[in-house]
Amino acid sequence: MEEKGRIGIPKTLMFYRYFPLWKVFFEELGWRVIVSDGLGKRGKLVYFEDSCLPMKLLVTHSIDLKEKVDHLFVPRLVSLHRSYIMCPKFRGAPDIVHLAMEGTVSILDETIDLRVREYSMLRSFLKTGKQLGADEKEGKRAFQKAERFFFNFQKGWEDRINELPLKQVFHLETPALPKSEEKPFRVAFIGHPYNLFDTDVNKDILSFAKSLGMRIITPDALSEKEIDAQVSDLSKEIYWSSGREIVGSLFHFLSGGVDGVVFLTSFKCGIDALLQEFIRRRLKLKGGTSIPLLLLSLDEHSGREGLTTRLEAFRDVMEERKTKE
């Protein structure tokens, strides 16, 4: 099929979960997908006002793409769950990009709000498809194919994240390597996907964890039911979907099945700040945890050394606990 043009996807935010779906959808409609590069060690971050790091990265990556593409894909993510909402910054994300681009590039910014039928994932993508000149039938077919691909991709997630270098996890053409030898520790890494899997944010801490003998489990491995089981008895609902996922999976993993739990938080994130305090209080009520828990705080200024020292010590804690058993 002839290439209709290029769609740019900034490698930030929910890219780190939905990229496989997005990519297949656009490619099925005959568009080429271009992904922004990482920041690298010396990358220049674009600063604007007093924003959180993920939003600064969104702007930085978008600027990187603007000359190379016909459209930028920055969906307005209001909700990705039938009752929980995203952080309000996601709602404004396309507007932030629009301002930063000064209107120089077209932005595909259809709303996704799974609480409302009108803004379901399918309908949102049909609208996006229409903007790209695809009729409903073509759009539907492309979306179904994308969705199938996404589900299969998710099934292979745990192997991909453990067997591939982190930078290649979202290279969809690269197959996951066959499982290597058993690792001595199973460790759950919890946090927003764009903190967990963006090596510019986390200084590639997951690769370091793997080199310390940890097999990584992420909340992606849990079903909605397993997550809900841990948040259903809360006195007050957590209304952010990321909060629900983080708290639900954290307490799920702390109830067993792993040797340790690491919660990667972002220094400037309001949701994380509240969740940390919330988790502390809930742990206190539960009388602590028998499974080691580590809170790692990430910010754009921290070096890698602080993270590695803590992770090394955490490995020692898990090891001691294992030898004692």
Strand partners, 263: 190, 295
- Out of 1, 41, 118, 181, name the contact with other proteins by CB under 8 A: 41
Name the DSSP letter for residue 132. Answer: T
324 interacts with other proteins by CB under 8 A: yes
- Out of 283, 285, 286, 325, name the contact with other proteins by CB under 8 A: 283
Instruction: Determine the interface stretch with other proteins among 46-54, 112-120, 245-253, 306-314 (rule: CB under 8 A).
Output: 306-314
136 interacts with other proteins by CB under 8 A: no
Cα–Cα distance measured from residue 298 to residue 206, given in angstroms and rounded to the nearest whole number: 13
The site map against other proteins for 198-227 (x = CB under 8 A) is: ------x-------x---------------
CA 60 → CA 36, 39, 101, 169, distances in Å? Answer: 9, 8, 10, 21
User: Closer to other proteins at the Cβ: 21 or 187?
Assistant: 187
Other Cβ atoms within 10 Å of 102 Cβ, number: 8
Cα–Cα distance measured from residue 234 to residue 76, given in angstroms and rounded to the nearest whole number: 29
* Rg for the chain, CA atoms, rounded: 20
Element (H, E) at 244: helix 241-254
Q: Amino acid identity of 200?
A: D
Chain length of the chain: 325
Instruction: Determine the interface stretch with other proteins among 56-64, 180-188, 221-229, 312-320 (rule: CB under 8 A).
Output: 312-320
Q: By C-alpha distance, which of 124, 47, 59 is closest to 92?
A: 59
Instruction: Determine the interface stretch with other proteins among 109-117, 141-149, 181-189, 283-291 (rule: CB under 8 A).
Output: 283-291
- Out of 68, 137, 280, 286, name the contact with other proteins by CB under 8 A: 280
Instruction: Determine the interface stretch with other proteins among 28-36, 83-91, 234-242, 305-313 (rule: CB under 8 A).
Output: 305-313
- Out of 3, 118, 305, 325, name the contact with other proteins by CB under 8 A: 305
293 interacts with other proteins by CB under 8 A: yes
